[in-house]
Amino acid sequence: MNRFQLIQKDSNCPARTGLLKTPHGDINTPVFMPVGTGGAVKGITPEQLRETGAEIILGNTYHLMLRPGVDAVEKIGGLHKLTAWNKPILTDSGGYQVFSLAALTKIDENGVQFNSHVDGAAVSLTPRSAMEIQNRLGADIIMCLDQCTPYPCDESFLKEAVERTIRWAKMCKESHSNENQMLFGIVQGGINLELRTYCAEKIIEIGFDGYAIGGLSVGEGHENMIKTVRHTAEQLPADLPRYLMGAGTPADIIAAVKSGIDMFDCVMPTRNGRNAYAFTEDGPIRLRNSSHTTDTQPIQNDCRCYCCRNFSRAAIRHFFNIGEMLGPILVSIHNLMFYQNMMRQIKEQIKNGTFSGWADEKIEKYRIFNSKTDMAEQ
Amino acid sequence: MNRFQLIQKDSNCPARTGLLKTPHGDINTPVFMPVGTGGAVKGITPEQLRETGAEIILGNTYHLMLRPGVDAVEKIGGLHKLTAWNKPILTDSGGYQVFSLAALTKIDENGVQFNSHVDGAAVSLTPRSAMEIQNRLGADIIMCLDQCTPYPCDESFLKEAVERTIRWAKMCKESHSNENQMLFGIVQGGINLELRTYCAEKIIEIGFDGYAIGGLSVGEGHENMIKTVRHTAEQLPADLPRYLMGAGTPADIIAAVKSGIDMFDCVMPTRNGRNAYAFTEDGPIRLRNSSHTTDTQPIQNDCRCYCCRNFSRAAIRHFFNIGEMLGPILVSIHNLMFYQNMMRQIKEQIKNGTFSGWADEKIEKYRIFNSKTDMAEQ
């Protein structure tokens, strides 16, 4: 059953709007998913999150399987209950964190063995266990276990990872046992377009409820990413949702929508918020900067977020300066609102048939966030 | 002009309800003031604070004068603007923190000189500057500079502090220059009842808009505190508000209301909230405790706070366990609601003429919070 409904296609580019139906409600795409790492979007309450307009959040299987553990999540009543979020949730497979955070000890056909970054305990993750864990966590959308490659990455390693990702995808499809949950396949292949085509074909053959592009936003840069996204998105079924994992900056997201992507997740708004970096239409603002000491403007004048409606830059700077939690809370709220506003504008522009030109302008304007190397991207 | 209106007096004890009118709205007494140290009640937004029912908050002049400084607060538009709190605010004089936090270098008739706990800078605070700073911060109620004594404290030191507090009070009264702000006098004298009587007489002679009892909740214990409060409150004008500074535990507050006190402030709900200690009708709960790992109950079953309506003890424990800010946020909200619920019950019981017996039961029941030495009181 296809739970995705295409609403509108842009006439000048592959951008589209759609509706994705889940047991916890509908999602209007293109959609941005704030990251709720271990069951909480860092620094804010689910109520504050809802006020930004978020329709779906992402939970990290890796973090949740280590703490509190899948048994505990089940006893608590599932991930929605733990998180106090009754709208849709997507869980990743844990693969990305295993390959980036954990001390990887062994990788073979059965899966990966690693040492927990929390206490060093030996843990394994297999295609079968990734499915079982995600089935039990109870998200609305779950992801296949894949092998995420770094950038740069040599050709033979990339090919091996693609083949493994395909074999694991088959095993995931066979193990998936909760028909209320959509299962998405993941296409790997680094920035090698031939490998991406090959991987996409094989993953589509297996057949999933949606398709993700993994292994990007790992240092390859905006141009490489978008070239790969544009190429790969073309290979994916038009009638199913397409998800670009772990991206990205505002320019990344708009350019990816222009390439036909429907779903995004990224820690940028919250991580930068905690570090006092705010997104604004005119570029990033560092709120620790002494230039804001008596600046009575809000972070962004026309922003309707709770932070901008109530607090001056000077007040926020002061809260960071004295170590008050309110600083990180407020800028996280603002940054999430900035991202959600951008998604609202994207949908509006597609609806009005004006997306393509608007996107080019914004991608150019928002390049400033890509080049600010002091903003944290991962 | 007396801005305090007595509403109802209990027939069995000095407890009373009242209405205190300020430029930022009315306050229903007895009232609990959450502590907004440097312009923020730690861990939560003003909106979340309002939802607990808070009608007034306290700001610390000591912290605000050091950071961001009174010039900056003025340029930002005053303390209400900095804090994004458009209801009443009371500022203390800074005296308590000078005597407890700072490295005191000199005390004489002119005031105190000390080194800032932030950067060691030499700073002075005089009766005149305490008034000027508070006039400029712009709170609705401001406090005289007093000399706060520790417990225990020898007699001659106590007497000296009382005499200095009286002389400073006169200077404060003379310097106070903003008639929109109420100025409260402070009675010192440790647990020496004769000294309290003497100090009260002299402070009342000077004449203030309300009277505070200072120098308690510094280690003297519940019995000593309440004995002193009961005695001192009797010396204070019945038609003006009475404020017990820095108190206290739930039992302290109820017993002090029973002695005729109208206003309270304390960091207990927020400080304990950040440390995972929750107040409940049945005593304190430590949410880090492993017994809560799969406990699906809310902190308190009949509590209507945002935390209890949405999160299980297990979820909150998990958030503390993984270091998510949401843990401290949620328990701070709950604890503030516990205190505000207690104040609502107090007013209700006085209104119904049933306060005295109810209070005795609650004081007995809530003793458990006094004896829990691992709950942070200061």
This model of the complex carries an ipTM of 0.97
In a domain, A54, yes or no: yes
Within this chain, do residues B136 and B245 fall inside the same structural domain, yes or no?
Answer: yes
Q: Do B76 and A38 touch (CB under 8 A)?
A: no
Residue range A16-33: average pLDDT? 98
pLDDT confidence band for B318 (50 / 70 / 90): very high
Residue range B124-148: average pLDDT? 97
Tell me if chain B has a CB within 8 Å of the CB of A115: no
pLDDT confidence band for B374 (50 / 70 / 90): low
Among B267, B284, B305, the domain boundary falls at B267
Q: Do B314 and A68 touch (CB under 8 A)?
A: yes
Pick from A39, A324, A329: CB nearest B318:
A39
Within this chain, do residues B125 and B257 fall inside the same structural domain, yes or no?
Answer: yes
Query: Cα–Cα distance between A225 and A264 in angstroms, integer?
Result: 14
For a pLDDT cut of 70, what percent of chain B falls above it? 98
Contacts of B37 in chain A (CB under 8 A): 324
pLDDT confidence band for A376 (50 / 70 / 90): low
Within this chain, do residues B210 and B294 fall inside the same structural domain, yes or no?
Answer: no
SS3 B336: helix
A265 is catalytic: yes
Within this chain, do residues A80 and A167 fall inside the same structural domain, yes or no?
Answer: yes
Within this chain, do residues A107 and A229 fall inside the same structural domain, yes or no?
Answer: yes
SS3 per-residue string spanning A32-96: EEEECCCCCCCCCCHHHHHHCCCCCEEECHHHHHHCCCHHHHHHHCCHHHHHCCCCCEEECCCHH
In a domain, A51, yes or no: yes
In a domain, A250, yes or no: no
Which of B112-116, B183-187, B252-256 shows the lowest mean pLDDT across its residues? B112-116
Distance from the B278 Cα atom to the nearest Cα atom in chain A, whole angstroms: 18
Q: Do A325 and B47 touch (CB under 8 A)?
A: no
The dihedral through the CA atoms of B324, B326, B329, B333 has a sign that is negative
Q: Do A314 and B67 touch (CB under 8 A)?
A: no
Within this chain, do residues A300 and A196 fall inside the same structural domain, yes or no?
Answer: no
Domain at B121, CATH number: 3.20.20.105
SS3 A151: coil
CB distance A213 to A228 below 8 Å: yes
In a domain, A24, yes or no: yes
Query: pLDDT per residue over B10-49, tens digit each?
Result: 999 999 999 999 999 999 999 999 999 999 999 999 999 9
Residue A372 has pLDDT above 70, yes or no: no
pLDDT confidence band for B283 (50 / 70 / 90): very high
Pick from B43, B75, B314: CB nearest A325:
B43
Amino acid B99: pLDDT: 86
Contacts of A77 in chain B (CB under 8 A): 296, 312
CB distance B119 to B167 below 8 Å: no
Within this chain, do residues A297 and A184 fall inside the same structural domain, yes or no?
Answer: no
Pick from A42, A294, A326: CB nearest B324:
A42
Q: Do B296 and A76 touch (CB under 8 A)?
A: yes
Using CB atoms within 10 Å of the CB of residue B329, give its burial: 0 to 12 exposed, 13 to 18 middle, 19+ buried.
buried
Amino acid B378: pLDDT: 43
Residue A238 has pLDDT above 50, yes or no: yes
- Give the structural domain span for A66: 4-245
Q: Are strands A242-244 and A210-213 parallel, antiparallel or unpaired?
A: parallel
Candidate list A10, A92, A140, A252, residue with the active-site label: A92
Which of A272-281, A364-373, B134-143 shows the lowest mean pLDDT across its residues? A364-373
Within this chain, do residues B222 and B356 fall inside the same structural domain, yes or no?
Answer: no
Residues 6+ apart with CB under 8 A from A275: A376
In a domain, B377, yes or no: no
In a domain, A350, yes or no: yes
Pick from B67, B318, B321: CB nearest A318:
B67
Query: pTM surpassing 0.95?
Result: yes
Within this chain, do residues B303 and B256 fall inside the same structural domain, yes or no?
Answer: no
pLDDT confidence band for A378 (50 / 70 / 90): very low
Tell me if chain B has a CB within 8 Å of the CB of A283: no
Within this chain, do residues B252 and B301 fall inside the same structural domain, yes or no?
Answer: no
Return mean pLDDT, chain A: 96
The number of domains in chain A is 2
| DSSP one-letter string for A4-22 | EEEEEE-SSSS-EEEEEEE
Tell me if chain A has a CB within 8 Å of the CB of B332: no
CB distance A183 to A144 below 8 Å: yes
Among B213, B245, B267, the domain boundary falls at B267
Q: Which residue of B has its CA nearest to A79?
A: B315
In a domain, A257, yes or no: no
Q: Do B315 and A81 touch (CB under 8 A)?
A: yes
Q: Do B81 and A329 touch (CB under 8 A)?
A: no
Among B267, B284, B301, the domain boundary falls at B267
In a domain, B240, yes or no: yes
Q: Of the candidates B325, B322, B306, which has an alpha carbon nearest to the alpha carbon of residue B314?
A: B322
Query: pLDDT per residue over B231-255, tens digit each?
Result: 999 999 999 999 999 999 999 999 9
β-bridge mates for residue B210, sequence order: B184
Within this chain, do residues B239 and B300 fall inside the same structural domain, yes or no?
Answer: no
Pick from A72, A84, A325: CB nearest B310:
A84
Within this chain, do residues B194 and B308 fall inside the same structural domain, yes or no?
Answer: no
Tell me if chain B has a CB within 8 Å of the CB of A318: yes
pLDDT confidence band for B296 (50 / 70 / 90): very high
Query: Cα–Cα distance between A348 and A28 in angstroms, integer?
Result: 11
Tell me if chain A has a CB within 8 Å of the CB of B291: no
